[in-house]
Amino acid sequence: MDEQRRHYYLDALGVTRWQLRDAPQPAVAPAQPALDPEPHREAPPPPLPRAEPAPQAVATPASSQAEKPDWRALREQVRNCRRCGLREGCTQTVFGVGDTQARLLVIGEAPGADEDRQGEPFVGRAGQLLNAMLLAMGFQREEVFIANIVKCRPPNNRDPRAEEALSCEPYLMRQIELIQPRVILAVGRIAAQNLLKSDLAVGKMRGRVHSLGEARIPLVVTYHPAYLLRTPEHKGRAWQDLQMALSQLRESV
Ligand code: URA
């Protein structure tokens, strides 16, 4: 990867690039706070180059295609689900969004207030940071699939309970079965613990490639974007995780 591109990705992730005071100035644009979801008045960053190798050959967003019967049926099941009490307290189910043939599947925790209102995962501040993380990997949001452990917003944004996650699990497993992603990126403790059936902290689960289910889908754990908003000093570690996911994707080409 050339230096300019590497800088661009690091800037997009919000990782501070340190430079020796006496070092010659690079001929690249200064760091852009592209991962900062706060609106800013600076000039927008130049178009992002794609990561190498292009991890996604199919670029047609699912929304522009007629939905396949399997997906329609699953969407309907989720919409009508009453397997746990969460549906009582939420506005609508949040099924998931993106390319149904994506090579990368991102799994978060649960819809929050914004997601509950809009019916789409990761549309709030954490979602903006997730989008920037994906861009840093070379993906547009539409090129991956994004889902959550539970499809209904827990009251007051509390963590989903174990039994709620279990009730919702068949829907997520069916989504995984239909998508057949090459890599799963589990963002945050709730996603990682439920998928890996573990009670370890994220810090103990990240840094290696796990595998999920009989299909042994490579699974990489990283910090939740909401956590990264509160703890920006861990963005560098998150970038390492994203690179690990990217190298898994490259291996699976
Ligand atoms: N956090 C999540 O884990 N999922 C969302 O959809 C939004 C915020």
Tens of pLDDT along 161-192?
999 999 999 999 999 999 999 999 999 999 99
| Residue from 253, 246, 190 nearest 220 by CA | 246
- pLDDT at 60 (0 to 100): 43
- pLDDT at 232 (0 to 100): 98
Q: How many helices, marked H, and strands, marked E, lie in the chain?
A: 10, 6
- pLDDT at 62 (0 to 100): 47
CA 194 to CA 108: how far, in whole Å?
10
Atom of ligand 1 nearest to the CA of 224: 3
Region 115-128: mean pLDDT is 98
CA 117 to CA 91: how far, in whole Å?
7
- pLDDT at 253 (0 to 100): 78
Please choose from 91, 106, 148, 159 the residue to mutate so as to test ligand 1's pocket, defined by most ligand atoms within 8 A of CB: 148
- pLDDT at 12 (0 to 100): 62
CA 77 to CA 95: how far, in whole Å?
10
- Give the amino acid at 188: G
Atom of ligand 1 nearest to the CA of 109: 3
Half-sphere exposure of 223 (CA within 13 A, CB side): 21
Lowest mean pLDDT among 59-68, 150-159, 219-228, 233-242: 59-68
Neighbour count for residue 118 (Cβ, 10 Å): 15
| Residue that wins the pLDDT comparison between 14 and 154 | 154
Question: From the CA of 68, how far away is ligand 1's center (Å)?
Answer: 26
pTM, two decimal places: 0.82
**Mean of all residue pLDDT scores within the chain:** 85
CB 225, CB 239: distance < 8 Å:
no
Lowest mean pLDDT among 20-34, 76-90, 115-129: 20-34
Question: From the CA of 121, how far away is ligand 1's center (Å)?
Answer: 6
Please choose from 109, 168, 185 the residue to mutate so as to test ligand 1's pocket, defined by most ligand atoms within 8 A of CB: 109
3 state SS of 209: strand
**Considering the chain, what percentage of its residues have pLDDT values greater than 70?**
74
Tell me the per-residue pLDDT of 197-214, one tens digit each, with 9 for 90 and over.
999 999 999 999 999 999
| Dihedral (Cα; 124, 89, 63, 69), 10-degree rounding | 150
- Give the amino acid at 5: R
Question: From the CA of 132, how far away is ligand 1's center (Å)?
Answer: 15
Tell me the per-residue pLDDT of 212-244, one tens digit each, with 9 for 90 and over.
999 999 999 999 999 999 999 999 999 999 999
CB 91, CB 154: distance < 8 Å:
no
- Burial of 154: CB neighbours in 10 Å, binned 0-12, 13-18, 19+: buried
Please choose from 92, 116, 122 the residue to mutate so as to test ligand 1's pocket, defined by most ligand atoms within 8 A of CB: 122
Is 225 a pocket residue for ligand 1 (Cβ < 6 Å)? no
**Considering the chain, what percentage of its residues have pLDDT values greater than 90?**
73
CA 224 to CA 214: how far, in whole Å?
26
- pLDDT at 5 (0 to 100): 59
Tell me the per-residue pLDDT of 6-19, one tens digit each, with 9 for 90 and over.
566 656 666 666 55
